[in-house]
Structure 1
């Protein structure tokens, strides 16, 4: 997505007579400053952004337009150069307007627990007003504060706000209470890829090739916007109702547009790249290593390097050659070896992945645009069915558990709340304006 330089940039603005003219728009505090040029003394007028301000997409298939309706009902219409730039403006402006105290867990009916982690759990919920399903990830503030890791949830929230891709789970909204952070995600009903491969048996070649292609496209997109994913594993790949995959869980991801260096030791042990084990600075190449481990596991049902002792496991990752069965397909062997080169500079990049004979017969543009029907499609009686999630979670009591509130300045984190441009939960007047 295009980013806005210092929360400002050029837009076309529609005048009262319907003519369009270029304006330099800059967000200063809660005011949108509109000028003829980037010079401070050329300000034409201001739009005060308040909780009553409405920012909406203007319905036009050929243009990238949005409207701002101020508290007095005055409507200004703007046009961006492309959809990404338009969405950047909408998300930015809506983050200023969002202060809706009504968006809380009372807006939702909890249908099931569908996941659990160290910091909290994931709930399948239904919006009481619209009936729309979401997966809400609740994260306990007290644990994050105790471990000085508030930045993890903030980083995850910020990365998901800027990520828009067909093979990445979308963040729909975010809010907080004094005890928890809540991330409202699109619900992906087919469950984890991990459950599919270990419950239903080996994947057919066409199936794992399509999965790997989709994940590669998601990683390539993340890298293009400055994100290292850092947490590849089958548990973090979900299957949607149509059989396509969605990358999820960005708690360990790193935005290298903010800090170009990355050296943190993190990830699932069997998937950790050699340069991470050596505690060397690393880049996006660690994600291609993770893709290589994933490919191996999808084909052979186990990661290539295994040990119950992490130190022994890391020594195998650093020193051992990748083991293959005697009857392994040589094309698959060469592809995996290209991804699992110990030297990150020699490891396959996206261009080498997409052109490899492993994907013979695949057109990546067709994959991206979902013109290839997945061989495996979940059978769902209804969208709220949770049969593809682990019974360990779905058998739990379906409720948002009580957690004591955090007291003091850390109880509220400014700027966390978020309301997606296509989300309609607590605001009945959230409509799309016609041009």
Structure 2
């Protein structure tokens, strides 16, 4: 059972605005305030549910607030910025009940990818048939980088979104030191790797991938989600050659805010409004989409430079360069998405009648009735031949890790999500996909 989290905080009084010390505890889906540790009289309780919000206060790194339905907002101050992140993580973790799943329940076949916060492993439930891409995320690294929200954001977006061209979440669980996301395993590898081998695509092949990616992005937007990290590394190919978007650590759910201003993403695909640090919305994804279609057609991104600062300058002030022999239809199509002004930039739905599509049947595409030109070779799904050998040659194991500072027990109650975990031993489901970040 995941334990509780407690400590000394200061809270701001509702009437006179004075800060007073109190002993607080996260326990059994409640945030409890006591008069003191020595005098455990309960002064206030806040029920923690899926709508509860715990966020740091901008420009005040030691302060955070808790908001929950039918409750007055609570403003608190911790001893350090790291301690703020620990409290927020503990509160967020209460939103979904825990289960008893551990990595000991899985056979680990291979490492598929690795990033700063963890890695992705190809796994199979012991006694089961299906393969999963399990992403492990170090809690201590999230706390240190003040990124505790990313694991929950990723989980929550994936729980919300269901689409044939978006990777699905099957389950989630945690240990003292890590979060684990059990993702659909997509054995065809990254579109990035295919483009590296293949080079520029034919317009027919680019049209196919652009169509499936566009349908996936449009669905995300219809659900209020800004993707914010479209790039070929985050587009996977299934065993039939269809795409799956993955990696939702940067995704933004706009249910409460229609715009945001966080500077995030990958340099070559950033929209100019992000670089200018302006408020932005869904239009940034269509800029990245234009960059990706350009890359599929011409072999590199439209504003490429080996210097990041020059990339940003080119994105802000230059028009994209097109080769002299470029197809005018492709030039016109891509240019609609690379308009500097987001208000003038086209969306996928606005441009479905463009000549680039050549009367493509989008309903047939959505239902996977149009066959891709390229079908990845998958002889044995347990052998990830379509992934980078830099990772697949690693010893397949779940490494030891250090818990976040000041954590004495497995306190992040609630991250877990069972999904179809109980039925994994005896059912056959579609193959599933990794999250490579």
TM-score, scaled relative to structure 2: 0.74
Query: Paired residue for 2:139?
Result: 141
Q: What secondary structure, in the 3-state scheme, does the structure 2 residue paired with 1:408 have?
A: coil
1:101-140 equivalence runs, <5 A: 101=100, 103-140=101-138
Query: Paired residue for 2:415?
Result: 416
Offset of 1:292 from its aligned partner?
A: 0.1
For residue 381 of structure 1, the aligned residue among 379, 382, 395 is 379
Paired with 2:213 and 2:173, the residues of 1 have a C-alpha distance of 29
Paired with 2:208 and 2:103, the residues of 1 have a C-alpha distance of 37
Structure 1, residues 4-48: CA drift from partner, whole Å, max 9, x if none? xxxxxxxxxxxxxxxxxxxxxxxxx99xxxxxxxxxxxxxxxxxx
1:226-375 equivalence runs, <5 A: 226-375=224-373
Structure 1, residues 339-358: CA drift from partner, whole Å, max 9, x if none? 10001111111222322111
TM-score, scaled relative to structure 1: 0.74
Q: What secondary structure, in the 3-state scheme, does the structure 1 residue paired with 2:150 have?
A: helix
Offset of 1:134 from its aligned partner?
A: 0.1
Q: Which portions of structure 1, spanning 4 or more consecutive aligned residues, are displaced by more than 3 angstroms?
A: 95-99, 422-429
Which stretches in structure 1 are left out of the alignment for 5+ residues?
1-28, 31-94, 430-435
Query: Paired residue for 1:26?
Result: none
For residue 219 of structure 1, the aligned residue among 205, 217, 220 is 217
| 8 Å CA contact retained: 2:97, 2:414 | no
| 8 Å CA contact retained: 1:203, 1:298 | yes
Paired with 2:136 and 2:372, the residues of 1 have a C-alpha distance of 31
Paired with 1:309 and 1:384, the residues of 2 have a C-alpha distance of 39
Paired with 2:156 and 2:99, the residues of 1 have a C-alpha distance of 19
Q: What secondary structure, in the 3-state scheme, does the structure 1 residue paired with 2:385 have?
A: coil
Structure 1, residues 238-293: CA drift from partner, whole Å, max 9, x if none? 00011100000001110110333300011100000000011110010000000000
Paired with 2:380 and 2:424, the residues of 1 have a C-alpha distance of 24
Change (3 A) 1:178 1:323: same
Offset of 1:118 from its aligned partner?
A: 1.0
Give the paired residue count.
336
Offset of 1:131 from its aligned partner?
A: 2.3
Change (3 A) 1:326 1:97: closer
Offset of 1:96 from its aligned partner?
A: 8.5
Structure 1, residues 59-91: CA drift from partner, whole Å, max 9, x if none? xxxxxxxxxxxxxxxxxxxxxxxxxxxxxxxxx
1:36-51 equivalence runs, <5 A: none
Q: What secondary structure, in the 3-state scheme, does the structure 1 residue paired with 2:288 have?
A: helix
Using CA pairs below 8 Å that are at least 6 residues apart, which structure has the higher relative contact order? 2
Alpha-carbon RMSD:
2.1
| 8 Å CA contact retained: 2:123, 2:132 | yes
| 8 Å CA contact retained: 1:178, 1:405 | yes
Offset of 1:179 from its aligned partner?
A: 0.4
1:208 pairs with 2:202: no
Q: What secondary structure, in the 3-state scheme, does the structure 2 residue paired with 1:182 have?
A: strand
